[in-house]
Amino acid sequence: MGGTDSLALIADDIRVCRACPLCESATQAVPGSGAADARLMIIGEAPGAHEDKAGMPFVGASGKVLNKLLLVAGLDRSALFIANVVKHRPPQNRDPLPEEVLACAHFLQRQIAVVDPLVIVPLGRHAAARWIPDIKISTAHGVPQRIANHIVVPMLHPAAALYQPRNMAVLEADFQALGELYRIVLRDAVK
């Protein structure tokens, strides 16, 4: 891939992808959005209904929770890159099937290669499993792990705060710690 790949090229390839049946039921692809030079990347599971309509990740109810959490962390959403493991909405918001995750995996791989973030934050078990296959998100959330040349910080999915309000306190504590960790990592990286 080298230096010739770009987020725009990847987005074009995602939009014409027919590798799994999700493209047939979805309105459009949701490639991801944000800064190509982001030092922190947030990875969700798959677009929901609002994202499917807008073509943008995390613009619905989970997105509103995420925006609050980014405020808690002191992170500017426009400076990050936000994407999903699967780029088309699964019907009725069901979990993506393993073969759909597999068919889409190379797009996320290319996005990570282009952005090359210091920190990757997978949201929820399905996204975190991309890095930590047998993850128990109930105990691993908020715990940074060095994986290859990234620091991976798995988090509960923001939707967890919608169906169980006490998860919001857990998410807020984890995002506050994430913000502190990120600023230290960033400071050390520019030394």
The candidate with the shortest Cα–Cα distance to 47, out of 36, 34, 61, is: 61
Nearer to ligand URA, 3 or 31 (CB): 31
Question: Which residue lies nearer to ligand URA by CB, 58 or 175?
Answer: 58
H helical segments located in the chain: 7-15, 22-25, 49-54, 61-73, 98-115, 125-128, 137-140, 160-163, 166-189
Residue 82: φ, ψ to 5°? -120, 130
- Give the orientation angle of helix 7-15 with respect to helix 98-115, to 10 degrees: 160
Q: Which amino acid is at 47?
A: P
Residue 171 beta carbon to ligand URA: minimum distance, rounded to whole angstroms: 14
Least distance to ligand URA, CB of residue 148, Å: 23
Least Cβ distance, residue 47 to ligand URA (angstroms): 5
Q: CB-wise, 64 or 106, nearer to ligand URA? A: 64
CB-wise, 94 or 146, nearer to ligand URA?
A: 94
The contact set with ligand URA (CB under 6 A) reads: 44-48, 51, 57-58, 60, 62, 84
Q: How far is the CB of 4 from ligand URA (least distance, A)?
A: 28
